[in-house]
């Protein structure tokens, strides 16, 4: 009775929470639960018959999907390195600038590109990498260097070309997070380090870097989750090509659903990706907690 | 304070008022016609008719293969609006005058062209009554009851076409692809002019006197263009592959085209041929096909997969591109083009050039392109007959020419309809080849006939092969795996009666 009374007393709060909860259940929880069910069916957009683990079995035999996992791992590892190393270094440089005006200038310059829509950035890079008319090949030709590179159209370099997008990989969320991390380092620590003779690279490696480990771990976790499921580049630029050179599981999932109406199979791919992300996130959280 | 007695009373009054007002409102549904439209229409209605009834609304989503038929927002020609178009609305208004009980609503922009949108709408039964989709999808959609067959309408006379005994007489029967159940699920609107556009100045620079006609001449032209450092050719789709595959397998078509002999191998015939071992993925014909494909691809520029072929052509970076009507129109109007251009048909494969040469696909047109379908929405709303009647109106030779020619991107599908001047040479070539007994466009194309799973594998693996990522042997092994799975899926889906085979 006491519980019901407390519930009644708090009824207004529950009433205000209800719309949000309803939306969350409908748009946040129902779709993945529906996908979980349909992963075990031959859902084609109209009918769905239960077929058990047939979709999963097909996944294990799908050579395109298996090959795409290697592409995904390559892009994931390269993305973690480029996305974190350069923004970490960039944030460190800006943090250590003595002139506050220059510091503010570089902060704005590195953050400003974030307002450009991602699709625009991708299309811009596609234009730069156009084998016939793109700036890269044109500049190489003008310098008398080999210049007939296929970039995104060459299976041997398509994945590397994707990694190149965004060079020098400084601007963005990582820069902001690392800069905030550096700025949260107490001045006393920096002064103490100076007194001890730890300056420059030595201070960065022994003092600054260990103090932003939390931010690094966060970025790695976010990077892994994004890398496992992302397929924006494939959707906008390559369609998984040339051939299947840049296909990743997320792209194949999308393609199966919306190009071939194999929603059941796509749901199974999505379900497996979800399980993998869940497992990795769980391990990461344990790792972070243990460290703390 | 918030829940005081006064507040409760105010809330009760407000809710009660709202309830009473709702009950008093007319609560009309979506289809109720505007009273003024109904009143003005009544002057056209027989005086003995009853009070104006609700008009049946036929929704048309006028997508097209290469250009949509939706009206542009303005009829004023400008750089941003180079092809103002409104003919479908004009034709719809004419038809409405003849059918005051109905109203045509034309969607702009079109939606059903996007397969994702079409699937969602068809599954929910909310698609337009008449839609456009790429032809390959009809075989997936008809078993689900998403699209309606046209056969009963095709056997009726088209009342708007003078002297027409059956609507289907307006079309080349062999070009009306029947689905697995033997029925026709679309009405052709246009036929696509197709061939190769070439840069006359680059040809002259390379010493090529005349457009190549045979594959030997074509490969020779490619070598000459390579000699002057120019990329010779780029595909936009895989139209040239279709003609080549048909040519290579031409001698087998008669052997496979047995269930519905019409000069085209349909899906059941293909599955039968595969199951009986008459068609094999690793066959001498297929090896010849891929060999010729690879030789043609040697003239493609590096990284061709990521190049905009059209842009590369108009900027003079590529000497030839395969093209259809809309590309020809755009090249004609493109201000970036600074050179003279010409058009030519795809090369033919002679017997002297290949053990499998000698019979080729009709040149000049790839057959019917835009074709509109009746959907389950029309069945649900009871507008199917009226929608079919509207399509009959649109597809008389005269009206079909009006519908299509204003956009200058295609040839009207109806026999007897005039084509625009730009496409007359292609149309004339097609008519000559048709008389000479050339094979129908797409008489055989495994990537479509083999089902979506095989088609996916073909798209990816054939590019991998052309780019040198995999060998021909590996390509054929992987394609065979996909073909087996795909064909099994087709048999399961369509439940073919194999005893008929």
Q: Per the structure block, which two tokens stand in for B9?
A: 């009373």
Distance from CA of B77 to the nearest CA of A (A): 29
Which chain A positions have a beta carbon within 8 Å of B471's beta carbon? none
What local confidence, expressed as pLDDT, does residue B427 receive? 86
Phi/psi at A189 (5° precision): -65, -45
Measured between CB atoms, which of B123, B318, B452 is closest to A46? B123
Domain that holds residue B288: 192-366+441-500
Say yes or no: B91 and B231 in one domain: no
Measured between CB atoms, which of A45, A46, A154 is closest to B302? A154
Rg (CA), chain B: 27
Which chain B positions have a beta carbon within 8 Å of A131's beta carbon? 301-304, 306-307
Return residues 152-171 of A near B (CB < 8 Å): 152-155
Q: How far apart are CA A158 and CA B433, in angstroms?
A: 43
Q: How far apart are CA B222 and CA B217, in angstroms?
A: 9
Q: Is A126 on the interface with B (CB under 8 A)?
A: yes
What local confidence, expressed as pLDDT, does residue B460 receive? 93
Q: Do B305 and A47 touch (CB under 8 A)?
A: no
Q: Is B234 on the interface with A (CB under 8 A)?
A: no
Q: Is B317 on the interface with A (CB under 8 A)?
A: yes
Reported as a pLDDT band with limits 50, 70 and 90, residue B114 is confident
What local confidence, expressed as pLDDT, does residue B428 receive? 86
Reduced to 3 states, what is the DSSP secondary structure of residue A59?
helix
Average pLDDT, chain B: 88
Which chain A positions have a beta carbon within 8 Å of B318's beta carbon? 132
Question: Tokens 């083999």 appear where?
Answer: B450
Q: pLDDT by residue (tens digit) across B171-200?
A: 987 778 788 788 999 999 999 999 999 999
Q: pLDDT by residue (tens digit) across B281-311?
A: 999 999 999 999 999 999 999 999 889 999 9
Q: pLDDT by residue (tens digit) across B378-389?
A: 999 999 999 999
What local confidence, expressed as pLDDT, does residue B28 receive? 38
What local confidence, expressed as pLDDT, does residue B1 receive? 45
Q: Is B471 on the interface with A (CB under 8 A)?
A: no
What local confidence, expressed as pLDDT, does residue B48 receive? 44
Q: pLDDT by residue (tens digit) across B236-267?
A: 988 889 999 999 999 999 899 998 888 889 89
pLDDT at residue B398 greater than cutoff 50: yes
Reduced to 3 states, what is the DSSP secondary structure of residue B342?
strand
Integer angstrom CA distances of residue B112 from A18, A110, B130, B141: 37, 42, 10, 13
Measured between CB atoms, which of B146, B305, B452 is closest to A242? B305
Say yes or no: B168 and B211 in one domain: no
Angle (nearest 5°) at CA A53 between A47 and A56:
100
**CA torsion, points A57, A58, A64, A67, in degrees to nearest 10?**
0
Q: Is A37 on the interface with B (CB under 8 A)?
A: no
Q: How far apart are CA A134 and CA B2, in angstroms?
A: 66
Distance from CA of B309 to the nearest CA of A (A): 10
Select from B117, B305, B448 the residue whose CB has the most chain A CBs within 10 Å, as the one to mutate to test that interface: B305
Q: Determine how β-strand B371-375 pairs with β-strand B147-148.
A: antiparallel
Q: How far apart are CA A141 and CA A138, in angstroms?
A: 5
Measured between CB atoms, which of A45, A130, A243 is closest to B463? A243
Cβ atoms of B68 and B110 closer than 8 Å = yes
**How many domains does one find in chain B?**
2
What local confidence, expressed as pLDDT, does residue B47 receive? 42
Reported as a pLDDT band with limits 50, 70 and 90, residue B29 is very low
Distance from CA of A266 to the nearest CA of B (A): 14
Q: Which residues face B199 on adjacent strands?
A: B341
Say yes or no: B216 and B172 in one domain: no
Q: Do A244 and B464 touch (CB under 8 A)?
A: yes
pLDDT at residue B41 greater than cutoff 60: no
Say yes or no: B141 and B223 in one domain: no
Return residues 318-347 of B near A (CB < 8 Å): 318
Inter-chain contacts counted by CB atoms under 8 A, chains A and B: 100
What local confidence, expressed as pLDDT, does residue B35 receive? 30
Q: How far apart are CA B380 and CA A69, in angstroms?
A: 45
Say yes or no: B234 and B308 in one domain: yes
- What mean pLDDT is predicted for residues B23-34? 39
Rounded to 10°, the helix A54-61/A263-291 angle is 80
Question: Nearest chain A Cα to B315, which residue?
Answer: A133
Q: A163-177, B46-60, B92-106, B148-162 — which is least confidently predicted?
A: B46-60
Q: Per the structure block, which two tokens stand in for B279?
A: 């068609």
Measured between CB atoms, which of A45, A243, A259 is closest to B123? A45
Residue B99 belongs to some domain of the structure: yes
> CA-based diameter of chain A, in Å?
86
> CA-based diameter of chain B, in Å?
100
Q: Is A233 on the interface with B (CB under 8 A)?
A: no
Which chain B positions have a beta carbon within 8 Å of A64's beta carbon? 456-457, 460
Q: Which residues of B313-337 are buried (b: 16+ CB within 10 A; e: fewer)?
A: bbbebbbbbbbbbbbbbbbeebeeb
Cβ atoms of B88 and B134 closer than 8 Å = no
Say yes or no: B253 and B130 in one domain: no
- What mean pLDDT is predicted for residues B356-371? 90
Select from A59, A152, A153, A246 the residue whose CB has the most chain B CBs within 10 Å, as the one to mutate to test that interface: A153
Cβ atoms of B344 and B198 closer than 8 Å = yes
Measured between CB atoms, which of A63, A238, A259 is closest to B115? A259
Domain A13-291: which topology?
MetI-like fold (1.10.3720)
Say yes or no: B204 and B181 in one domain: no
Report percent pLDDT > 70 for chain B.
89
pLDDT at residue A83 greater than cutoff 80: yes
Which chain B positions have a beta carbon within 8 Å of A240's beta carbon? 460
Which chain A positions have a beta carbon within 8 Å of B120's beta carbon? 45
Say yes or no: B489 and B464 in one domain: yes
Domain holding B288: CATH number? 3.40.190.10
What local confidence, expressed as pLDDT, does residue A150 receive? 92
Q: A87-91, A164-168, B393-397, B423-427 — which is least confidently predicted?
A: B423-427
Reported as a pLDDT band with limits 50, 70 and 90, residue B426 is confident
The better pLDDT of the pair A236, B112 is held by: A236
Rounded to 10°, the helix A213-229/A263-291 angle is 170
Question: Nearest chain B Cα to A234, which residue?
Answer: B306
Question: Nearest chain A Cα to B468, which residue?
Answer: A155
Contacts of residue B172, Cβ cutoff 8 Å, sequence gap at least 6: B415
Q: pLDDT by residue (tens digit) across B142-176?
A: 989 999 999 999 999 999 999 999 999 999 877 78
Measured between CB atoms, which of A45, A243, A255 is closest to B469? A243
Q: Per the structure block, which two tokens stand in for B166?
A: 């059956």
Reported as a pLDDT band with limits 50, 70 and 90, residue B5 is low
Q: Is B308 on the interface with A (CB under 8 A)?
A: yes
Measured between CB atoms, which of A131, A133, A243 is closest to B461? A243
Reported as a pLDDT band with limits 50, 70 and 90, residue A292 is low
Select from B127, B303, B456 the residue whose CB has the most chain A CBs within 10 Å, as the one to mutate to test that interface: B303
What local confidence, expressed as pLDDT, does residue B21 receive? 56
The better pLDDT of the pair B418, A171 is held by: B418
pLDDT at residue B133 greater than cutoff 50: yes
Reduced to 3 states, what is the DSSP secondary structure of residue A288?
helix
Q: Do B306 and A152 touch (CB under 8 A)?
A: yes
Distance from CA of A69 to the nearest CA of B (A): 16
Residue B35 belongs to some domain of the structure: no
Cβ atoms of A59 and A268 closer than 8 Å = yes
Q: Domain segments of chain A: what residues?
A: 13-291
> What DSSP designation does B83 have?
S
State yes or no: cis peptide before B150, omega within 30 of 0. Answer: no
Say yes or no: B215 and B308 in one domain: yes
pLDDT at residue B37 greater than cutoff 50: no
Q: pLDDT by residue (tens digit) across A114-169?
A: 899 999 999 999 999 999 989 999 999 999 999 989 999 999 999 999 999 999 99
Q: How far apart are CA B105 and CA A60, in angstroms?
A: 48
What local confidence, expressed as pLDDT, does residue B38 receive? 31
What local confidence, expressed as pLDDT, does residue A100 receive? 87
Say yes or no: B381 and B283 in one domain: no
Question: Nearest chain B Cα to A47, which residue?
Answer: B144
The better pLDDT of the pair B11, A44 is held by: A44
Q: Is A64 on the interface with B (CB under 8 A)?
A: yes
Q: Do B478 and A12 touch (CB under 8 A)?
A: no
pLDDT at residue B106 greater than cutoff 50: yes
Average pLDDT, chain A: 90
What local confidence, expressed as pLDDT, does residue A239 receive? 93
Q: Do B144 and A47 touch (CB under 8 A)?
A: yes
Q: Is A237 on the interface with B (CB under 8 A)?
A: yes
Say yes or no: B356 and B377 in one domain: no
pLDDT at residue B46 greater than cutoff 70: no
Say yes or no: B245 and B325 in one domain: yes
């Amino acid at each position: 009775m006491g519980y019901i009374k407390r519930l009644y007393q708090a009824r207004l709060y529950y009433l205000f929470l209800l719309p949000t909860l309803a939306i969350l259940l409908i748009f946040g929880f129902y779709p993945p639960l529906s996908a979980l069910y349909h992963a075990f069916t031959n859902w084609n957009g109209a009918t769905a018959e239960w077929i058990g683990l047939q979709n999963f079995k097909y996944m294990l035999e799908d050579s395109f999907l298996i090959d795409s996992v290697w592409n995904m791992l390559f892009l994931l590892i390269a993305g973690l390195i480029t996305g974190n190393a350069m923004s970490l270094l960039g944030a460190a440089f800006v943090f250590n600038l003595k002139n506050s005006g220059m510091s503010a200038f570089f902060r704005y310059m590195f953050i400003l590109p974030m307002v450009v829509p991602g699709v625009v950035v991708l299309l811009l890079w596609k234009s730069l990498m156009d084998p016939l008319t793109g700036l890269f090949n044109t500049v190489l030709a003008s310098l008398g260097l080999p210049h007939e590179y296929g970039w995104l159209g060459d299976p041997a370099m398509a994945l590397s070309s994707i990694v190149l997008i965004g060079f020098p990989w400084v601007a963005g969320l990582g820069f902001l997070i690392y800069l905030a991390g550096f700025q949260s380092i107490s001045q006393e620590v920096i002064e103490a380090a100076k007194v001890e003779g730890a300056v420059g690279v030595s201070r960065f490696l022994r003092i600054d870097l260990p103090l932003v480990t939390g931010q690094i771990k966060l970025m790695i976790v976010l990077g892994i989750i994004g890398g496992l499921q992302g397929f924006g580049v494939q959707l906008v630029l390559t369609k998984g090509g040339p051939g299947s050179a840049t296909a990743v599981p997320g792209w194949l999932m999308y393609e199966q659903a919306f190009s071939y109406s194999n929603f059941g199979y796509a749901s199974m791919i999505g379900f497996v990706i979800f399980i993998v992300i869940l497992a990795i996130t769980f391990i990461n959280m344990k790792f972070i907690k243990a460290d703390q | 304070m918030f829940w005081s007695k006064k507040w409760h009373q105010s809330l009760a009054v407000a809710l009660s008022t709202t309830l009473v007002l709702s009950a008093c409102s007319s609560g009309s549904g979506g289809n109720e016609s505007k009273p003024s439209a109904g009143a003005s229409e009544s002057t056209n209605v027989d005086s003995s008719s009853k009070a104006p009834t609700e008009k049946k609304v036929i929704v048309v989503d006028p997508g097209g293969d290469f250009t949509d038929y939706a009206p542009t927002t303005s009829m004023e020609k400008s750089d941003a609006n180079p092809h103002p178009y409104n003919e479908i609305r004009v034709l719809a208004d004419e038809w409405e005058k003849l059918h005051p009980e109905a109203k045509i609503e034309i969607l702009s922009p079109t939606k059903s062209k996007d397969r994702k949108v079409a699937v969602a709408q068809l599954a929910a039964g909310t698609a337009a009554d008449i839609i456009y989709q790429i032809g390959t999808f009809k075989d997936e959609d008809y078993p689900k009851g998403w699209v309606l067959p046209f056969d009963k309408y095709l056997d009726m006379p088209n009342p708007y076409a003078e002297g027409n005994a059956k609507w289907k007489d307006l079309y080349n029967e062999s070009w009306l692809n029947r689905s697995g159940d033997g029925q026709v699920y679309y009405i052709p609107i246009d036929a696509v002019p197709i061939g190769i556009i070439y840069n006359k100045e680059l040809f002259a620079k390379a010493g090529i006197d005349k457009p190549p006609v045979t594959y030997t001449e074509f490969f020779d032209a490619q070598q000459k263009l390579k000699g002057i450092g120019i990329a010779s050719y780029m595909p936009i789709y895989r139209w040239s592959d279709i003609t080549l595959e048909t040519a290579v397998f031409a001698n087998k078509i008669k052997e496979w085209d047995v269930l519905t002999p019409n000069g085209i191998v349909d899906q059941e015939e293909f599955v039968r041929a595969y199951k009986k071992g008459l068609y094999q993925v690793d066959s001498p014909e297929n090896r010849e096909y891929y060999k010729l494909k690879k030789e043609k691809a040697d003239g493609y520029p590096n990284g061709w997969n990521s190049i905009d072929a059209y842009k590369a052509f108009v900027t003079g970076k590529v000497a030839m591109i395969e093209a259809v009507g809309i590309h020809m129109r755009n090249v004609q109007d493109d201000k970036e083009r600074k050179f003279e251009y010409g058009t030519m048909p795809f090369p033919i494969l002679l017997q002297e050039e290949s053990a499998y040469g000698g019979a080729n696909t009709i040149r000049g047109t790839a057959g019917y392109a835009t074709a509109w379908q009746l959907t389950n929405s029309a069945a649900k709303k009871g507008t199917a007959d009226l929608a079919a009647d509207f399509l009959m109106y649109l597809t008389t030779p005269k009206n079909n020419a009006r519908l299509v020619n204003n956009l200058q991107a295609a040839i009207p599908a109806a026999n007897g309809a005039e084509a625009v001047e730009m496409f007359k040479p292609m149309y004339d070539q097609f008519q000559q080849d048709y008389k000479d007994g050339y094979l129908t466009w797409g008489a055989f194309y495994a990537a479509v006939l083999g089902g979506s799973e095989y088609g996916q594998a073909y798209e990816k693996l054939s590019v991998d092969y052309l780019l040198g990522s995999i060998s021909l042997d590996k390509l054929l092994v992987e394609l065979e795996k996909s073909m087996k799975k795909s064909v099994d899926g087709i048999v399961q889906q369509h439940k073919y009666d194999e005893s008929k085979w």
